[in-house]
Structure 1
Amino acid sequence: MDNISIQMLFIILGILILISAYFSGSETGMMSLNRYKLRHLEKEKHKGAKRVSKLLKRPDRLIGLILIGNNLVNIAASAIATIIALRLSRELGISDDLAVLTATIILTLVVLIFAEVTPKTLAALYPEKIAFPSSIFLMMLLKVLLPFVMAVNWITNGILMLLGISSEQREQHSLSSEELRSVVNESSALLHAQDHSMLMSILDLEKVTVDDIMIPRSELIGIDVNDDWKKIQKQLTQANHTRVLLYRDNIDDVVGYIHARDALKLLSKNQFTKATLLRAVRELYYIPEGTPLNIQLLKFQHAKERLGLVVDEYGDIQGLVTLEDILEEIVGDFTTTQTPTPSDAVTLQPDGSYLVDGSASIRDVNKEMSWKLPTDGPKTLNGLIIEHLEDIPQNNLSVRIAGYPVEIVEASENRIETVRVMPEFFVSEDEEEK
């Protein structure tokens, strides 16, 4: 070292700091890559993505390689800085201890700024631009230092085993539904509004049950097969649906359902009688209440069914759900329905309040109006208010539910017909507690 000039030592020190910056940046760049985008690029035959994927298959080797290189370079830089400090101490006439201490402080700041923070910040901001080119040199270096890297990994893996940790136990890069929902939300600027809404609706299917979207029992429309034949014919011709429920005397004694196509076939053959109608009845499919929509969608697919009756634990009919109802949860309304839509159920008043039908679905009203009425209990606004008051209230009674002032405008003996909601006076529950 005595034969090397101090200028050359500074040049060597600068080169070592640059190499240290390379290793630091490479490490951050490799670990900051979006794994899903990396897989996509790998499928697109991107050479850099292929190299990086190969390196990341064994992260213990990659990290070992980078840390071996980085530590060797930093130790060498420290040694060079010490030699430079000792030489300068003789020329300047200061003590060796003071010179070494000063060199240590200066080198620490230089390494921290130029070999750690700056390259790692740059790599975190542009991981692909750093990782892909860097992988070329790392692949070559790994081949050269593989025995040394494997030896270091063998020792570290042994220490991990003593701690009860296996090197095979790696985190799987899979997303939970909540994480996937966050990804979709963050990508909303890149997606069409309708596409974003559909994706979010698909992810929300597991949170919504058949009880939330079913046509309730009180609104079920069917045909009593014990009625006069002319009346049955009239009801069939005026039906708004291609599938019509058939029952005896009351909806609890459901016979099945008839498809309009089957009725037309019988009519075309002049065989359209009550007897042939009953023979053409199709069996009903039953759905347990509380079934999540994502599961029911698969069940409809496997059973080749398009509608089903929702029943409770006692087998009593609660409502009806169709495949179209589930699809509308994803893509929005696209079929004709007998039940009022939120726009029909909600009417804006001149004073800024809204008149809402008591039978309106809370979920639909929340979605339409961007309100936050609770949906973890009753399904309708009528049920929500009755549960809150534990009684069927009289007219002109006002309550506050989830921060929303609600006035009962009209009520009958057994249900609330119309309410007035004043969202402009909404107060959050946290603010109300304060």
Structure 2
Amino acid sequence: MSELVSIGVLIVVSALFAMSEIAIAAARKIKLRVMADEGNRKALAVLKLQSEPGAFFAMVQIALNAIAILGGIIGEQALTPYIQDLLLLVYDGPLLDKISFVISFFMVTSLFILFADLLPKRVAIIIPEIVAMRLVSLMRVVTMAIYPFVLLFNTLTNLMLKMLKLPTEREEVVTTEDIVAMMEAGAKYGSLQQQEYQIIENVFELETRTIASAMTPRDQIIYIDVNDSSEDISQKIIEHPHNDFLVCNGSLDIILGSIESKEILRLVLKGELEQLKPTQIEKDIFYLPETLSLTEALNNFKVAPQPFSVVVNEYGTVVGIATVKDLLSGFMGDLITHHDEEQVVQRDTNSWLVEGLTVMNDVIKYLDIETFPDRNQYETIAGFMIYQLKRLPKRTDSFIYEGYKFEVLDLEGVRVEQVLITKLN
């Protein structure tokens, strides 16, 4: 009976070591750091153990192998006599001892596999942080108790790793892809709303998108000519109710300044809007280069708070204007974009109507396409069409890429206005 009790004790002890091994390895560092910051000392102890796991894993392997050996010895001695007595009821031949040993060995091994390995490891992988914090103190005590053996095997392991030119410790580097994958898992299981996940994912794209992908392009800029009559100015404000307007002399290449629409309204109500005067024009214009990323552009707006910026290329030519709202729409999406301003409209399960200036990152979210060729050569779906066709597109021009048909539906001059994307069966 004492031997059977000893087997039970060995199984329990082996289960504790197996649980601690899996739990320490699987415990999420981000969750542990949160608990440690809240004052949980055991979470901090687990983090310290994870940072230097060599001695811990050496101790676990020493303990598990020692228990396995003892379990085999004690188990064979404890169960074999009982099994022999049972076998004598049906068999009393020369192979009785061998058959009894095989059966006892199988039974002891099965008990250890089920109760000392599989079951505890399954529990540890399900709730790793809880198990790790419960057992970390015990594991540290055992490590100190057999420290000479731990030091010996840990040193030998490190020497072998260095001989193989492998690192002795794991470097923990959390990448953008890791964070996005975590957010995606949270959205999948409901702990994170889909819209919140989308916003967080878009935030990581701010560094890869340039201001040119969010600005209003040159040919869509509505400006006031300094020589416009009051009727022309009033008509532009009625048709295009913006907060601010550029004031130019003949074209966008000669910018004199800007004026607020409310200032124009004040002049209209006072009957003083015959023609704009130099004193009524704000001459301080905020310029930004088109090569800036959205992150850099937002930082510039933060340093120099302005309602909008004029975007220029390397030759100093105006290529567009951008407001803070334009930049924020790069990751806020539907929260600040009206439904009638949506750039991608899904017609049915297999087709999408896309505005030409829609950035490729937004298009990719709707399509089951892993990669697009030479992404650094274009930013919008219109740019992708030009890149693939190797010329300026014409209406109805199309091509097939990765099982999707891309077709030009509408043009405004040489600019692609709308693209129809259809998934082919």
Tell me which interval the TM-score lies in, with the shorter structure as reference length.
0.7 to 0.9
The answer to whether residue 287 in structure 2 is matched with residue 285 in structure 1 is yes
C-alpha distance in structure 2 between counterparts of 1:55 and 1:379, whole Å: 46
Deviation at 1:175, TM superposition (A): 2.0
The answer to whether residue 343 in structure 2 is matched with residue 370 in structure 1 is no
Any conservation in 1 of the 2:225–2:249 contact (CA below 8 Å)? yes
Which residue in the other structure is 1:27 paired with? 21
Deviation at 1:143, TM superposition (A): 4.1
Q: Deviations over 1:358-391 (max 9, x none)?
A: x453659838x93569694555655554554445
The answer to whether residue 55 in structure 2 is matched with residue 61 in structure 1 is yes
- Please report the TM-score for the alignment, with normalisation by the length of structure 1: 0.74
Deviates more, 1:60-69 or 1:300-309: 300-309
Change (3 A) 1:333 1:271: farther
Which residue in the other structure is 1:310 paired with? 311
Deviates more, 1:16-25 or 1:81-90: 81-90
C-alpha distance in structure 1 between counterparts of 2:157 and 2:418, whole Å: 70
Deviation at 1:402, TM superposition (A): 5.2
Any conservation in 1 of the 2:215–2:322 contact (CA below 8 Å)? yes
Any conservation in 2 of the 1:397–1:408 contact (CA below 8 Å)? yes
Which of 406, 424, 427 pairs up with 2:424?
427
Any conservation in 1 of the 2:23–2:131 contact (CA below 8 Å)? yes
Which residue in the other structure is 2:72 paired with? 78
Any conservation in 2 of the 1:245–1:254 contact (CA below 8 Å)? yes
Which residue in the other structure is 1:341 paired with? 341
Deviation at 1:219, TM superposition (A): 0.8
Any conservation in 1 of the 2:287–2:312 contact (CA below 8 Å)? no
* SS at 2:206 equivalent: helix
Q: Deviations over 1:104-126 (max 9, x none)?
A: 55544443333222321221122
Higher RCO structure (Cα 8 Å, ≥6 apart): 2
The answer to whether residue 185 in structure 2 is matched with residue 190 in structure 1 is no
* SS at 1:206 equivalent: coil
Deviation at 1:215, TM superposition (A): 0.8
Any conservation in 1 of the 2:246–2:255 contact (CA below 8 Å)? yes
The answer to whether residue 285 in structure 2 is matched with residue 276 in structure 1 is no
Deviation at 1:183, TM superposition (A): 0.7
**Identity fraction in percent:** 25
C-alpha distance in structure 1 between counterparts of 2:390 and 2:21, whole Å: 62
Which residue in the other structure is 2:43 paired with? 49
Deviation at 1:216, TM superposition (A): 0.9
Any conservation in 2 of the 1:89–1:96 contact (CA below 8 Å)? no
Any conservation in 2 of the 1:212–1:363 contact (CA below 8 Å)? no
Which residue in the other structure is 1:118 paired with? 119
Which residue in the other structure is 2:91 paired with? none
C-alpha distance in structure 1 between counterparts of 2:171 and 2:99, whole Å: 48
* SS at 2:205 equivalent: helix
Change (3 A) 1:232 1:52: same
Change (3 A) 1:50 1:356: closer
Change (3 A) 1:317 1:401: farther
Superposition pairs for residues 408-419 of structure 1, below 5 Å? 414-415=414-415
Any conservation in 2 of the 1:20–1:70 contact (CA below 8 Å)? yes
Deviation at 1:329, TM superposition (A): 2.0
C-alpha distance in structure 2 between counterparts of 1:33 and 1:79, whole Å: 34
Which of 18, 30, 38 pairs up with 2:12?
18
Deviation at 1:252, TM superposition (A): 2.1
Change (3 A) 1:160 1:277: same
Any conservation in 2 of the 1:366–1:372 contact (CA below 8 Å)? no
Change (3 A) 1:284 1:230: same
C-alpha distance in structure 1 between counterparts of 2:155 and 2:279, whole Å: 79
C-alpha distance in structure 1 between counterparts of 2:366 and 2:346, whole Å: 15
Q: Aligned AA for 2:171?
A: E
Deviates more, 1:48-57 or 1:374-383: 374-383
Deviation at 1:355, TM superposition (A): 6.7
The answer to whether residue 358 in structure 2 is matched with residue 361 in structure 1 is yes
C-alpha distance in structure 2 between counterparts of 1:33 and 1:155, whole Å: 27
Q: Aligned AA for 1:342?
A: E
C-alpha distance in structure 2 between counterparts of 1:336 and 1:166, whole Å: 49
C-alpha distance in structure 2 between counterparts of 1:130 and 1:383, whole Å: 54
Superposition pairs for residues 19-418 of structure 1, below 5 Å? 19-81=13-75, 83-84=77-78, 106-165=107-166, 167=168, 169-172=169-172, 174-188=173-187, 189-225=190-226, 227=227, 230=230, 234=234, 240-258=241-259, 274-278=277-281, 280-289=282-291, 291-305=292-306, 307-332=308-333, 341-342=341-342, 359=356, 361=358, 363=360, 366=363, 370-371=366-367, 376=375, 384-391=384-391, 399-400=399-400, 403-405=403-405, 414-415=414-415
Deviation at 1:411, TM superposition (A): 5.5
Any conservation in 1 of the 2:313–2:319 contact (CA below 8 Å)? yes
Deviation at 1:163, TM superposition (A): 4.3
Question: Could you list the runs of 5+ residues in structure 2 that have no partner in the other structure?
Answer: 89-93
C-alpha distance in structure 1 between counterparts of 2:337 and 2:126, whole Å: 50
C-alpha distance in structure 2 between counterparts of 1:363 and 1:157, whole Å: 48
Q: Aligned AA for 1:46?
A: N
Change (3 A) 1:24 1:382: closer
Change (3 A) 1:78 1:154: same
